[in-house]
Amino acid sequence: MSRLLSLADPRAAVYIRRMQTGFAIAVIAMVGATFVVLIVGVIAMLRQGKFNARHSNKLMRLRVLFQFAAIMLIALAFLIGHK
């Protein structure tokens, strides 16, 4: 007996809806993380204190990483063709 669900199976619709919801949450989380790190980095650069000297480069690298992840998730959403 196969464990794969047929698209006609009602459980498949629930599974697909859960995956779409999880995917949307992941995209929103990555965009939110990018925004938070960007704001913290900009505020640190404006204050020009010890925190900026120690962490500004790391914060901007982290922002680029989060931004890359967000763009990849959004591109994947377009490739999959969510309705």
Highest mean pLDDT among 6-10, 15-19, 60-64: 60-64
Q: What is the pLDDT of residue 1?
A: 45
Please count the CA atoms within 13 angstroms of the CA of 56 that sit on its side-chain side. 12
pLDDT in tens, 14-50: 877 888 888 889 999 999 999 999 999 888 888 888 8
In the three-class reduction of DSSP (H, G, I as helix; E, B as strand; rest coil), residue 82 is classed as: coil
Residue 3 has pLDDT above 70, yes or no: no
Neighbours of 14 (CB within 10 A): 11
DSSP annotation of 14 reads H
Residue 9 has pLDDT above 80, yes or no: no
Q: What is the pLDDT of residue 13?
A: 79
Query: For 54-75, what is the mean pLDDT?
Result: 92
**Cα 39 to Cα 60: distance, rounded to the nearest angstrom:** 10
